[in-house]
Amino acid sequence: MHTLKLIIRNALRHKIRTGLTVLGLLIAVLAYGLLQTVVDAWYAGADAASKTRLITRSSISLAFTLPISYESRIKGVEGVTTVARSTWFGGIYKEPKNFFPQFAVTENYIDLYGEYLLSPAERLAWARDRKGALIGRQLADQYGFKVGDVIPIRGSIYPGDWQFVVRGIFEGSDETKITRHLLFHWEYLNEWLVQRPTRKANQTGVFVVGIDAPDRAAAVSRLVDAQFQNSVAETLTETEQAFQLAFVSMSNEIIAAIRVVSYVVILIILAVMANTMAMSARERTAEYATLKALGFGPGFIAWLILGESMAICVVGGGAGLWLTPHAAAAFKQTAGGIFPIFAVSHATVVAQVACALAVGVVAAIVPAVQASRVRIVDGLRAAG
């Protein structure tokens, strides 16, 4: 108990210096947590992908579509249970900043996504309305959409003014599911294409393929692609997670930069903390020599310095940990359009704790060793 009191008094001896160091630790731990959460949010879609869904697309690029005649041949592959069509629409709601994904899909698309919870009545209402649309809860909350609202979309890939009637709002099975998109009838889009001089009619962007077992994903993918080998439109079939990661990989440099910055923040505060502890130990050289003269060993001196360092890190790091989820919630509210899923993971919290403790230990090592080795005569002479 007396040792703890001494540690606390030492830490509070220079209140301004200690306060600024605590503030620096708070900001560093908070920044580290938020940056790591940004990285996690980037991978949220891929992490939530189902292992029983495959994506079949053009082997050249997503910009190339596939004929719908492929659907029956894919259905015939052993292990395939369901095949749905999905085409990226890419329209604009009012103005470009209001971006959210829109997909033209067949009705059985919903059967493949069991994590999207939709009432039977809403699904039936959507099926009966040619212009009907289903929207996710996150999208509905962001723009205040309700069932029955008309959502005007200005087409970019498919020019024109489109209007979709909200017939249902689907929920995510848990908070990790992204529900910030709009689904409408693939047939509605195809009808529009058939009436125009374009080769995109009776084509789809991708086929979403349901399989009976996750461990058959690789085998089914090979069988599907073999069906269309050497054809005019060859295919590439991959797991939904691999498909999602292909998009994330386009931003690998950005993600790597964010990771580096998060670690640099910790290194900077480590340097600041080490400097604080070095100054504190240097100022107390005579005190440590006096303690030695009174019979206290080098280990006690080292523990005093380590304890002071850890106390500062616990306060600063703890405050940063407490603020992180609140800051993440505020960020999600203001920038939910960028990251629909923005939650601090348990792994991030553990990493924050580990970083704060590591800073406390590493910053104290050199001052503790130097103070424990000081000779009594030299230490007392320093007082003069």
Per-residue pLDDT at 47 = 64
Q: What is the mean pLDDT of residues 247-268?
A: 80
Say whether 97 sits in a helix, a strand or coil: coil
pTM: 0.73
Give the type of residue at 137: R
Per-residue pLDDT band at 273 (split at 50, 70, 90): confident
DSSP state of 218: H
- pLDDT at 129 > cutoff 90: yes
Q: How remote is the C-alpha of 301 from its chain's centroid? A: 44
Per-residue pLDDT band at 381 (split at 50, 70, 90): low
CA distances from 119 to 77, 182, 268 (A): 31, 16, 52
Torsion of CA 262, 263, 267, 270, to 10 degrees: 70
Q: How remote is the C-alpha of 115 from its chain's centroid? A: 19
Per-residue pLDDT band at 211 (split at 50, 70, 90): very high
The fraction of the chain above a pLDDT of 70, given in percent, is: 93
Please tell me which residue, 156 or 334, carries the higher pLDDT value. 156
Q: What is the mean pLDDT of residues 202-228?
A: 93
The closest of 66, 100, 61 to 85, measured between CA atoms, is 66
CB 117 within 8 Å of CB 123: no
Q: Which of 3-17, 20-34, 61-75, 349-363 has the lowest mean pLDDT?
A: 3-17
Q: What is the mean pLDDT of residues 233-244?
A: 89
Count Cβ atoms within 10 A of the Cβ of residue 305 and give its class: 0-12 exposed, 13-18 middle, 19 or more buried. Answer: buried
Per-residue pLDDT band at 152 (split at 50, 70, 90): very high
- pLDDT at 384 > cutoff 60: no
CB 55 within 8 Å of CB 208: yes
Q: What is the mean pLDDT of residues 324-343?
A: 76
| β-strand pairing of 102-105 with 182-185 | parallel
